[in-house]
Amino acid sequence: MELKLSNDVLTFTGELNNLTVPVASKELSRLLKHDSFSTIDLAELTMIDSAGVAFLDEVHHKLAQDPKKYLFDRVPPKIQAVIDTYSTLNLPKADKAPIIGIFEQVGDSVINFVTELIAALTLASEILYYSIVSIFSHKEQRRGSLVQQAAQLGSQALPIVALLSLIIGFILALQSGVQLKNFGASIFIADLLAITMVREMGPLITAIIVAGRSGSAIASEIATMKVTEEIDALKMMALNPISYVVVPKFHAITIVMPILVMASILVSEIGGGIIAIGLLDLAPQTFISRSIDIISIKDIIISFGKSIWFAWVIVIIGSYYGFRVQGGAEGVGKATTSAVVTSIFAVILFDAVFSLLYL
């Protein structure tokens, strides 16, 4: 490979390939220190490959004053054919992405939120409809699916719910009891613990645990079925995926959630009783009687009503993210994470709303 610069014309001689490109680059840098050129003569070029074409493109981009002006002259046909194959000079330039303003971003976020909300409400209405229909007809459900789902969502969640409820009752009674003891009001620890656990902490803590444990399982199961095309297979067999997959979970969690909340309340009372009896010197009969007397039927109805509502929210959100999954295993993970986060947020939000409504 040899480069000659004469009369404002740069001439390439020999072969321009991956082996000679480094030499040509160094020679071109040496020549440009003293002179310049406006045309590249390729008539004496005998061979060129893709590396050589890339080198010529780079020279054109760096040295052409007018990007539209073509520097190459007297190109042999066989060399021109290789250049046409590999050169990027004649490729159309990609249009720049339009700049999105703040109002467009806000509007796009609002539209996406409304669209997802409508889709979620539509799914919720379908789940409620098929849940009612399936009570009278079990054609699209597996035999024993309700018992199986109740065991998975309920009995297997009972140990962790009981353990955390015991600890929460213990801590709540400990922190409150120390302050009440300073004012000689230790006896009111039973009232405080009973009202707090029945109306607020029992349903809330149980729902958060179920959302993290069972909500993630619901979302990942449905998302996996969607990715592996099992949902499409159910449709091909004339089985409604909501009735076949979601409704048994919906019925099961509706039954087991109040039971879990009841267990949470009882266990938390035991944890609080340990502090009340052992640290505050309350008589066991006094603690039990005051805990029972302070609770009304309205409190129990509110507690169980909240627990059922939270259960429905968890199933609907988990199913929604499961059905809208995209991609493979990564999509399943994202759907599961989104379902858990959204379920916990929704449970806390609805609990705040219920607290305002039933003061």
- Structural domain total, the chain: 2
- In a domain? residue 97: no
Q: Which pLDDT value is given to residue 311?
A: 93
110 lies in the same domain as 203 = yes
Q: What amino acid is encoded at 151 in this protein?
A: A
d(CA 84, CA 89): 9
Q: What is the pLDDT of residues 314-336, one digit of tens each?
A: 999 999 999 888 877 888 888 89
Q: Which pLDDT value is given to residue 140?
A: 67
d(CA 132, CA 221): 23
Q: Measuring CA to CA, which residue among 234, 246, 225 is closest to residue 131?
A: 246
75 lies in the same domain as 117 = no
Residue where a domain stops, chosen among 29, 60, 86: 86
- In a domain? residue 200: yes
Q: Which pLDDT value is given to residue 262?
A: 92
167 lies in the same domain as 80 = no
For residue 268, what are the domain limits?
104-357
26-48 mean pLDDT:
79
- In a domain? residue 95: no
212-239 mean pLDDT:
88
- In a domain? residue 208: yes
Q: Domain containing 76 — which CATH number? A: 3.30.750.24
224 lies in the same domain as 120 = yes
pLDDT, the chain, mean: 85
181-198 mean pLDDT:
84
149 lies in the same domain as 206 = yes
Q: SS in 3 state form for the chain?
A: CEEEEECCEEEEEEEECCCCHHHHHHHHHHHHCCCCCCEEECCCEEEECHHHHHHHHHHHHHHCCCCCCCCEECCCHHHHHHHHHHCCCCCCCCCCCCCCCHHHHHHHHHHHHHHHHHHHHHHHHHHHHHHHHHHHCCCCCCCCHHHHHHHHHHHCCHHHHHHHHHHHHHHHHHHHHHHHHHCCCHHHHHHHHHHHHHHHHHHHHHHHHHHHHHHHHHHHHHHHHHHCCHHHHHHHCCCCHHHHHHHHHHHHHHHHHHHHHHHHHHHHHHHHHHHHHHCCCCCHHHHHHHHHHHCCHHHHHHHHHHHHHHHHHHHHHHHHHHHCCCCCHHHHHHHHHHHHHHHHHHHHHHHHHHHHHCC
- In a domain? residue 92: no
Per-residue pLDDT band for 66 (boundaries 50, 70, 90) equals low
Ranking 86-100, 102-116, 271-285, 312-326 by mean pLDDT, the lowest is 86-100
Q: What is the pLDDT of residues 247-295, one digit of tens each?
A: 889 999 999 999 999 999 999 999 888 888 888 778 888 888 888 888 8
149 lies in the same domain as 198 = yes
pLDDT over threshold 90, residue 69: no
- In a domain? residue 99: no
Residue where a domain stops, chosen among 86, 115, 150: 86
Q: Which pLDDT value is given to residue 344?
A: 93
Ranking 66-70, 191-195, 243-247, 342-346 by mean pLDDT, the lowest is 66-70
137 lies in the same domain as 71 = no
pLDDT over threshold 60, residue 70: no
312 lies in the same domain as 173 = yes
80 lies in the same domain as 126 = no
123 lies in the same domain as 224 = yes
- In a domain? residue 21: yes
Does the predicted model carry a pTM greater than 0.85?
Answer: no
90-98 mean pLDDT:
71
52-79 mean pLDDT:
74
30 lies in the same domain as 122 = no
CA distances from 287 to 118, 154, 283, 295 (A): 49, 29, 6, 13
134 lies in the same domain as 52 = no
- In a domain? residue 94: no
d(CA 192, CA 189): 5
Residue where a domain stops, chosen among 57, 86, 115: 86
